[in-house]
Amino acid sequence: MKKLILFTSVVFLLAGCKQTQAPASEQAKDEKAKENIALIRDLFKTFEDENLEGMKGFYSDSVVAYGPSVNIQEGFEEMVQGMAEFFEEVDSLKFDFIHIMAETTEEGDIAGDWVLQWSNVSWYDIKAERKIMLMYHSAEMIKDGKIIIEANYWNQWDLYKQLGAELTWPDEK
């Protein structure tokens, strides 16, 4: 009987406890992170649709892009030109997200709101007449709902192998 009374007392004590909530600033940060992740998911859907006009809403006019296929692209118009050329060579572009996360960096040269994503990307290469599949990673810095920096990476050698390239070494003498 004593155990039952003790158990009932503990249950009533726990039931009367207030549920703690994250501070308002943490809630705002979480909402911002959700918005930024949604922005990047929508951006990649626009890529899949090969909608160059729709991409304008995602990037700032002065966006800076880094990646294996470019040293540095500055400005949205330069990015669009590169994407247009890519879209002429591919069909059935698809991003399957492995992981996507938002992170805020408080200090330093890269301070700001970031979204990082890892995905498997695939497409049909029209010229090579074959399907290509790669692991793809990108990091986008977002300010005022627009991407201001985009850095991406994929294994270029893997792409070249799938397109039929072979690595040969000169004969040693």
Q: Which domains does the chain have, with CATH numbers?
A: 23-162 (3.10.450.50)
Cβ within 8 Å of residue 163, ≥6 positions away: 125, 128, 130, 132
Q: What does the alpha-carbon distance between residue 74 and residue 153 come to, in Å, rounded to a whole number? A: 17
Tokens 């879209």 belong to which residue?
87
In a 10 Å sphere around its CB, with 0-12 CB exposed, 13-18 middle and 19+ buried, how is residue 159 labelled? middle
Gyration radius from the chain CA atoms: 24
pLDDT in tens, the chain (173 residues): 555 554 455 445 555 555 555 566 888 888 999 999 999 999 999 999 999 999 889 999 889 888 886 666 777 888 788 888 889 999 999 999 999 999 998 898 889 999 999 999 999 999 999 999 999 999 999 999 999 999 999 998 999 999 999 888 888 66
Closest Cα to residue 160, out of 120, 132, 118? Answer: 132
One-letter identity of residue 46: T
Rounded Cα–Cα distance for residues 60 and 152 (Å):
17
Residue 117, number of CB atoms within 10 A of its CB: 22
Determine the residue type at 136: Y
What pLDDT does 11 receive?
Answer: 47
Report yes or no: 164 and 128 within 8 Å, Cβ to Cβ. Answer: yes
d(CA 66, CA 117): 15
For residue 21, the model assigns a pLDDT of: 54
